[in-house]
A and B are shown apart, each in its own frame.
Chain A
Amino acid sequence: MSLEVIEPGFLTTVQDAGRPDWTHVGVPTGGACDRWSLTVANLLAGNPPGAAALEMTLVGGAFRATTSLRIGLAGADLGGHVRETGRLLGPGQAHLVAAGSTIAFPGVADANVGARAYLAMPGGIDVPVVLGSRSTALAAGFGGLGGRAARSGDVIVATGAADRASGPHNSTQAQDRSDPWPESVWPADDADHDTGAPIRIIGGPWKGRGDLVGSTWRVAAGSDRVGLRLEGPTFRFDDRADLPSFGVIPGSIQVPPDGAPIVLIADAQTTGGYPVMAVAIAADMRRLGQLRPGAEVRFAETTVAAASDALRRQQADLDRGARLVRESAAWDDAWQGAGG
């Protein structure tokens, strides 16, 4: 099964859980900027959590379904709909898409809406595994669709058989319509869904040299998959000359010479020479990955222990959601098996 790219959108790339094992030779971990939403989209499509999916940015693409298929959507609501019928395709749900119909994600002009939407296809997207991952490494130009963003005319192929989308209403002659059986819906009551809450940080090697807490920052234009540039108060580090480079991870908040902090995200370089004031906690990386230019962001100090607890709670929420989705899928199978 496949989707043909009609319009590529602003930046649509194939991403999975990243390639953490090549950082020692300078390869960014990469992968989905919002790993939580990647997982949700995959679970809704019946995939393993880290399967390769499409990450759309601000203005998503338009895709024609060459066969009927079930898609999992998660992350930002970029106005997804079926072009021919206007049927809305909301995030946090699985949707059946009829062969020949066009699904479009035009984007919305609202700084409070997230930046990235994830579209998962059954079995995951079929691109070669490069250095242990299907993720697109944009700067180095490998992985995903030949190391680049999607273009018009690309065909996004999924490895899965069309088994979960093979209901009687789903033949090639079928009209687009809502799923007659209960669609899989992600339970939204996860612990960290408060998008307005401060990003929790742990002091880094240069902690105590200025306060990230207490100011409101704005995500600047020019932010990308490497980092979020922040507009607001600036910091000075006069003794940073000749600072030997050290390893950094996504979440590191570094201060380059112009004094404006940068929060590194998925495509962060593996080493950096700028002072790191703090590191955002793992549980809040999903929210950093959803901040678009113009969005406001605040920080709150937390502890290593509290950060680990938050991460465990988040994983427990994912596990619980995965269970519910599986039960719902099992119910679908029973319903179909009964000849519905």
Chain B
Amino acid sequence: MTRRPASEPPGWRIEPFGERALLVTLGDRLDLVVNAQARRLAAAVEAHRAVDPRLGRAVAAAVSVLVPFDALSLGSPEAAQLVAELAMTVQAEARSGGADTASGRAGTDGAVTNGARLPIEIEVHYGGRDGPDLPAVADAHGVSPDDIIELHAGSTWTALFLGFAPGFAYLGPLPPDLATARRANPRERVPAGSVAIGGDQTAVYPFELPGGWQLIGRTEATMWDIARARPNLLAPGDLVRFVPIR
């Protein structure tokens, strides 16, 4: 195997995050294509760990990937070289159109589909006590609560990444007529199953947590169950559709 010279994948930035991690930044703003590339890079790192356990579990976020590594056995410059090579492979696969991985295919129109996978449907009771912020969200956009429900349940969202809490999937990106700023006063307790909007993303609280997102509904779906083989209902790259119920 020939070793590529140390270089950065074009357009992406690899920088040290302490002496034991690297942050790969693929873009400056949330974008489905860039997000799908971040998930592919994380998948490439994960695949490479099978042969090089010095790399840690990569965390893909909106448009970046954090790659921790064992600083006792791997120096930061060497880790950066390794990750750059993986990143350039991901970029080359995207150029050749061979990016049909489990993490999603980026189409030319920016849409991301997950091959044959169907969206995961999540039933939601919108408004009322389950969604106390629905009127405020509607007011913010000058529309009715029913219009917000129609928009939220009318599109298929992508699980961009997981974070904040176990099983908390950031879904989006929401269009401007649905995106809503977080509450000025975060709640100390947001009930489990609350369906919420925070900026241009939406999510379901997997269990009771503090939170500043706008609560528009609630689901009975179990987003996180430690007794399941895969505790998280949603994984990065999954497609999600919300279904209104009475």
Contacts and interface: CB of A to CB of B under 8 A. Distances in A.
B59 A23 contact: yes
B166 A26 contact: yes
Given A24-B59, A246-B66, A304 B165 contact: no
Contact of B29 (A21, A22, A27, A244): A244
Contact of A308 (B29, B59, B71, B206): B71
Interface of A: 20-28, 130-131, 137, 139-142, 202, 204-205, 242, 244-249, 251-252, 269-272, 276, 279-282, 304-305, 307-308, 311-312, 315
B145 interface: no
A282 B71 contact: yes
Given A139-B165, A281-B19, A282-B19, A20 B170 contact: no
B162 A24 contact: yes
B75 interface: yes
Nearest to A245: B61
Contacts of A141: 207
Contact of B17 (A22, A26, A249): A249
A202 B22 CA distance: 12
Contact of A24 (B58, B63, B199, B231): B58
Nearest to B65: A247
Given A141-B207, A304-B19, A245 B163 contact: yes
Given A251-B18, A307-B18, A26 B64 contact: no
A269 B163 contact: yes
Given A249-B20, A279-B17, A244 B167 contact: no
**Interface of A, helix, strand, loop or mixed by DSSP:** mixed
Nearest to B28: A244
B72 interface: yes
A308 B64 CA distance: 24
Given A24-B162, A25-B162, A282 B20 contact: yes
Contact of A315 (B19, B58, B72, B168): B72
A224 to B, nearest CB: 12
A307 B19 contact: yes
Given A20-B56, A24-B59, A205-B17, A311 B30 contact: no
A205 B16 CA distance: 8
A137 B66 contact: no
Contacts of B15: 205
B164 A26 contact: yes
B76 A308 contact: yes
A166 B23 CA distance: 52
B88 interface: no
A304 B59 contact: no
Given A242-B199, A246-B61, A248-B66, A202 B16 contact: yes
B61 A308 contact: no
Contacts of B56: 20
A242 B207 CA distance: 25
B161 to A, nearest CB: 7
Given A130-B226, A249-B17, A271-B59, A26 B162 contact: yes
B45 to A, nearest CB: 10
